[in-house]
Amino acid sequence: MNVWGDIARSDPPATALTDLYTVPLATYLVGIVRVANRGAATTFRVSVAPGGVADSNEQYSAYDEPIGANERDEMMIAAGPTDTVRVYAGANTLTFTLFGVLKT
C-alpha cells in the first residue's frame, strides 16, 4: 500500500522540540518537511529519531538553520518503521508540514 499527500502539520511553541510524526510499524516514509515562517527571521531544527529514541546530535538534518522573514524552506527526509520526525522552532511563528509517501 502506498499513501501520498499531507501526512502531518504542526505549529509548535517556540524553543520546544516537538514530535511531528511517528512512522507506523511496517511502514517507510520518504517525504519533505516544509517550514513556513509567518514572522521575523529565526531558526529551525529537523531530526529523525530511529525508533523514537531520545534526542541526540546525529539525528539532525537541520540544526539552527536560518529562515528569513516570511520565507519558506524545504528538506527531504527518509524514515523507517517507528522512527519519529521531530521539529524545533526558534520562534512561535513557524509552521511545519510533512508531506510525501508512506509505503508498506
Confidence class for position 3, pLDDT limits 50, 70, 90: confident
Burial class for 85, CB neighbours closer than 10 Å (0-12, 13-18, 19+) = buried
The Cα–Cα gap between 43 and 59 comes to: 17
Q: For residue 14, is pLDDT > 90?
A: yes
Domain span including residue 96: 2-103
Predicted local confidence at residue 95, as pLDDT = 98
- State the total domains in the chain: 1
Predicted local confidence at residue 2, as pLDDT = 82
pLDDT tens digits, residue range 33-59? Answer: 999 999 999 999 999 999 999 999 999
How much is the mean pLDDT over the chain? 97
List the beta strands (DSSP E) in the chain: 2-10, 18-22, 28-37, 42-49, 60-67, 72-79, 84-89, 94-103
Tell me, what CATH number does 69's domain have?
2.60.120
pLDDT tens digits, residue range 63-94? Answer: 999 999 999 999 999 999 999 999 999 999 99
